[in-house]
Each structure stands twice: as structure tokens, then as C-alpha cells.
């Protein structure tokens, strides 16, 4: 039934998509309910917020921080979480963002300060038309610059000089300021009590040479087909690995030698193996110090000396035993490794009658 009073049919308009809470990005970087000066790091329960308005500004810049700087701050916070093995706290995120932005601010002074100093140097050499590192000689003609001449040539020469000085000054200023900014960032991060755990975690991973999330180098021999490695590439990689192992082994040998010398110095000087005689009982070429497949000259010399000392000790013991039992010595010469020497000594020992008797016995036996 249509009412007579109704002139036209009216229908409710569809709601605008702007009012739809599910329209657009479900996880915006800047929340609409939060001030736009904040940006988020991580997501979910581990989300932390960084207040951009409280961060140091770049030199001669009052606008919001550039996007590359914000991305760098976000990456530093995420890397700190990887080093810690847990999400960073709000205080740690604020501290990292502050020191990072402070380093950017110091680095932003490099180019303008370097350009100003270089321009001052360019004006000092205005009359000589000097360039960075070069001053024209007497044959230089400032009235000619390519196809230009006169006043135009002089202006062109000075413009080239200013461009050269400003380029060199900006490069050197940026390099020096960047180095100083990194130093300030490192010192500030180490001294900040909020980043104590972050500093300990970074030093721990730096000492071990590993970083969470990084891929470990494959030192296994052979060709890596999955990586598309050719036989020549595998051969070069194997040679590089062997050279690195030899280099590490060469660095460890001086350390082991110092340990041996330190052990000798700690020995008792009054003992037979101490003091100046300690080197005779500590073999630097032994297997404990350097394990090699071949015997070195030092090892061979020490081994021969050890054998000689053992033989001399055995001979001294045999002489003592004969002196203790002279009756056994007269019964007949002993036969051992030094038999010839003992026979000659036994013949010469005793009285003249004893020697005649021994000679007669030897003649009768023959």
C-alpha cells in the first residue's frame, strides 16, 4: 500500500567506507588512536612505541625525521632483540632510539661544516686560483677557460675552484663527523644503564663470532651443488679454508711456546728440573707443544743427548758395582756394551805380578 502523501520513494544511503573499522590496513604503523609522533616496533604483545617528538633533530631541520632514519632506528631495536634473545622493553627501545638519533644529528653537521671550511680555504687562495692540492704555475692564464675569455673565464675558474673545494670539504667533513658520531653512539650505549643487558649480549656474540639469525659458514669439503658451485669454485674455497687453518695454527704456536716458558719460570730453581736446567727437561718440540708427523732437528738432537746420558749413567753404575766387588772383577773380564774398554782397564789395573799371571793365563789358554 502506497501512501498518498508520499511524493517520492526514499532509501537509506550506504555507509561510507571511511567509517568501516575493518576497511584498509589491519595493522597500521601509526595507530589512529595514538599521536602520529609515535611509531611502532614489532607487533602483538611485543609491540613497543617510540616517540619521535622526543628524539634529537637533524641540523637545520625542524620537520619530522626522514623515513630512512626511522627505518634505521627500527632495525637497531630489532637487532637488539635478536642479541638479547627476547623482545626489548620500552625503556630499552627509548634509549636505543635516542642514541641512534643523536648519532644522526652529529653526523648531519659534517657536510655543512666541511663545506664552510673548504670555502674559506678557497677564498684564501683567490688571487692564486688554487685548487685543493694544486696551485697553478707562472704559465697559468686565468683569462682563458675553454672557449671563454676575459671576465667570463675568471668567473668560470673561480666557480670550478669553489666546486672542487666544497666537494672535498663535504666529503672529509662527512667522514670525520660520521666517525665521531659512531664513537659517541657506542660510548653512550655502553654507559646507559638501561642498555646494560644489550651491551653484554652484543659483546658476548662478538667474542664468539656468531650472531643470532646468521647462517653458519659451510666448511665441509666437496662441491656444493645446491649453491650452484663449480669444481673450480670448490677448489678455490678449499684452498682458502686450508690457508686460514694454517694461519690460525701459526698464531697458536707462539702462544703455546709462551706457556712452556712460563711453566719453566714457575719451576723451583733448587730442583734438578728448575732454573737454568729446566729447558733440558721440557721439550719444546714434544707432542704436547707441537704435534707434527716428522721429527725436527731439535727433537733429534735432544733424543741423541738423552740416549748418551743414559749410556753414561749405565757405565757409571757398572763401575761402582765393580769397585764394590773387586773379587768378582779378578775372576775375569765382564762382557757388555763396553766390554773392550773394561778388558783394557782390567789388564792395566793391579800389581805387576798380577799382570804377569793374567798374561800367562791368556797365553796358556791360547
Domain boundaries along the sequence of the chain = 29-216, 232-303
Facing residues of 39 across strands? 50
Per-residue pLDDT of the chain (366 residues; tens, 9 = 90+): 455 555 554 545 555 544 444 444 444 444 444 456 777 877 667 788 888 888 888 887 766 677 888 888 888 888 888 888 888 888 888 889 899 889 999 999 999 999 999 988 888 888 888 888 888 887 888 888 888 888 888 888 888 889 999 999 999 999 999 999 999 998 988 898 888 888 888 888 788 777 665 555 555 555 555 556 666 777 777 778 778 777 777 766 666 666 656 655 554 455 544 544 444 444 544 444 444 445 566 666 777 777 777 777 777 777 777 776 665 544 444 444 444 444 444 445 556 777 777 777 776 554
Query: Quick one: which H or E segment has residue 317?
Result: helix 297-324
Q: Given this model, what pLDDT does residue 296 score? A: 61
Which pLDDT score is estimated for 13? 53
State whether residue 130 is helix, strand or coil.
coil
pLDDT of residue 179: 93
| 171 half-sphere exposure, CB direction, 13 A CA radius | 7
- Give the whole-angstrom CA distance, residue 114 versus residue 109: 8
Containing 145, the helix (H) or strand (E) segment is: strand 144-145
* Terminal Cα distance for the chain, rounded: 163
Q: To which residue does cell 568501516 refer?
A: 20
Q: Give the integer Cα–Cα distance in Å for 160 and 131.
A: 9
Amino acid at each position: 500500500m502506497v501512501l498518498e502523501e508520499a511524493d517520492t520513494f526514499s532509501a537509506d544511503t550506504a555507509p561510507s567506507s571511511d567509517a568501516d573499522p575493518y576497511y584498509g590496513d589491519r595493522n597500521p604503523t601509526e595507530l589512529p588512536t595514538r599521536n602520529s609522533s609515535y611509531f611502532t616496533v614489532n607487533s602483538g604483545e611485543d609491540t613497543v612505541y617510540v616517540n619521535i617528538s622526543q628524539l634529537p633533530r637533524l641540523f637545520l631541520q625542524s620537520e619530522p625525521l626522514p623515513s630512512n632514519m626511522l627505518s634505521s632506528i627500527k632495525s637497531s631495536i630489532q637487532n637488539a632483540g635478536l642479541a638479547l634473545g627476547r623482545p626489548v622493553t620500552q625503556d630499552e627501545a627509548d634509549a636505543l632510539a635516542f642514541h641512534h638519533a643523536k648519532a644522526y644529528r652529529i653526523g648531519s653537521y659534517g657536510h655543512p661544516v666541511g663545506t664552510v671550511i673548504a670555502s674559506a680555504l678557497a677564498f684564501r687562495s683567490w688571487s692564486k686560483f688554487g685548487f685543493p692540492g694544486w696551485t697553478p704555475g707562472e704559465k697559468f692564464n686565468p683569462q682563458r677557460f675553454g672557449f671563454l675569455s676575459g671576465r667570463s673565464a675568471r668567473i668560470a675558474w673561480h666557480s670550478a675552484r669553489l666546486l672542487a673545494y666544497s666537494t672535498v670539504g663535504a666529503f672529509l667533513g662527512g667522514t670525520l663527523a660520521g666517525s665521531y658520531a659512531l664513537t659517541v653512539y657506542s660510548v653512550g650505549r655502553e654507559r646507559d644503564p638501561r642498555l646494560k643487558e644489550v651491551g653484554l649480549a652484543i659483546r658476548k656474540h662478538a667474542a664468539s663470532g656468531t650472531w643470532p639469525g646468521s647462517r653458519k659458514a659451510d666448511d665441509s669439503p666437496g662441491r656444493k651443488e645446491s649453491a650452484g658451485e663449480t669444481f673450480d669454485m670448490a677448489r678455490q674455497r678449499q684452498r682458502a679454508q686450508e690457508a686460514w687453518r694454517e694461519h690460525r695454527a701459526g698464531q697458536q704456536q707462539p702462544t703455546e711456546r709462551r706457556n712452556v716458558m712460563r711453566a719453566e719460570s714457575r719451576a723451583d730453581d733448587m730442583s734438578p728440573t728448575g732454573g737454568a736446567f729446566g729447558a733440558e727437561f721440557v721439550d719444546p718440540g714434544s707432542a704436547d707443544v707441537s704435534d707434527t708427523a716428522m721429527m725436527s732437528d731439535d727433537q733429534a738432537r735432544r733424543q741423541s743427548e738423552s740416549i748418551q746420558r743414559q749410556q753414561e749413567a749405565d757405565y757409571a753404575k757398572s763401575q761402582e758395582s765393580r769397585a764394590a766387588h773387586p773379587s768378582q772383577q779378578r775372576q775375569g773380564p765382564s762382557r757388555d756394551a763396553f766390554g773392550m774398554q773394561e778388558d783394557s782397564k782390567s789388564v792395566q789395573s793391579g800389581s805387576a805380578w798380577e799382570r804377569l799371571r793374567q798374561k800367562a793365563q791368556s797365553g796358556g789358554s791360547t
